[in-house]
Amino acid sequence: MVFSSQLMILVGCGAILSWILAVERVPELLNAFLVSTDMSAVTSLVFLNVFLLIAGMFIDTAAAIILFSPLLMAAATNVGIHPLHFSVIMILNLNIGLLTPPLGICLLTAESIAGCELPTLIRALAPFLLVNIIALLIITYIPEISLLLPRYLGIQ
């Protein structure tokens, strides 16, 4: 019960942050910024990766998808990023956020299950996190990786 209540408090804080971002119209402001700056697709991808990694650290994945995906998808499409490619990038970014503090729900769950201290767990997780970030960079800048199978199957 204690562990579940700790997780629910963290999720609740993330939900409050999501609500504040929605009320303050942060997704609309971000979309307007991306459209107004006239960035290239590569520069936009760098900006979106950084933003989504930070958002994933503080907001639950489901809330972040609901909050950011409609407007960021429109902004990504406007700069020439394929919608499916952007979706894969967004999900991977937010999943990396599940493993990173301060919210890191998966990290805290693993800490409780393993019965070890958080610094020990973070040290053990670091190589896997590094591989995830490298995979994110590869998938981000080589869109054919995320688009190969749908193209092969004739989905898109």
Q: pTM for the full model? A: 0.78
CA–CA gap between residue 10 and residue 60 (Å, rounded): 9
Give the number of other CB atoms < 10 A from CB of residue 22: 15
User: Tens-digit pLDDT profile for the chain (156 aa)?
Assistant: 666 776 677 667 767 777 787 788 777 787 777 777 777 888 889 988 998 998 888 887 887 888 788 878 888 888 888 999 999 999 999 999 888 877 777 787 788 788 888 888 888 889 999 999 999 999 999 999 989 988 888 886
Read off the pLDDT of residues 97-125 as tens digits, 9 standing for 90 and up: 888 877 777 787 788 788 888 888 888 88
